[in-house]
Amino acid sequence: MNMSQIPKTEILFALAAFICIGLCDFLRKKGVSLSPSPVSYYTVEVLATFATIILLGYFLEGWKISLNQDTVIYASLSGILICVAMVAMLYGLKTGEATTVVPIARLSLALTVFLSIAFLGDAVTLKRIVGIVLAIAAIYMLST
């Protein structure tokens, strides 16, 4: 294998996220089905997340917290949105099938691609447009 065949660091991190999120969603379906309340389940998950971020922060960055106004604003907004999203997904998983709820929720990636193209200046490519169209089709197919 030559150097050009070795995946870039960002791809390796994305693959790690892919595996962890896939396992997490599977465990969420099982766990929330056994939990008395989706909010109670998510509370425990957030506490575990908090403990994990302390360890990861220490091992990956020597726990050097560096904040500025933009960090606080964007992290607060994304934290609120992910909390609402996760509670909504957990309520969906409590009563619905993981094969329907999780793929529809995770199609948020199409929204991210669209917003990144529209507002962050990411390149518009035919592949990305087709991807968004296919994601919309997938939402329809999974929800009917």
SS (H, E, C) 94-125: HHCCHHHHHHHHHCHHHHHHHHHHHHCCCCCC
With 70 as the cut, is the pLDDT of residue 20 above it?
Answer: yes
Residue 2 has pLDDT above 60, yes or no: no
CB hemisphere CA count around 118 (13 angstroms): 8
The residue count for the chain: 144
pTM: 0.76
pLDDT top residue among 143 and 100? 100
Output the pLDDT for position 11: 85
pLDDT category of residue 3 using cuts at 50, 70 and 90? low
How far, rounded to the nearest angstrom, does the alpha carbon of residue 133 sit from its chain's CA centroid? 20
Torsional sign, CA 83, 87, 90, 96: negative
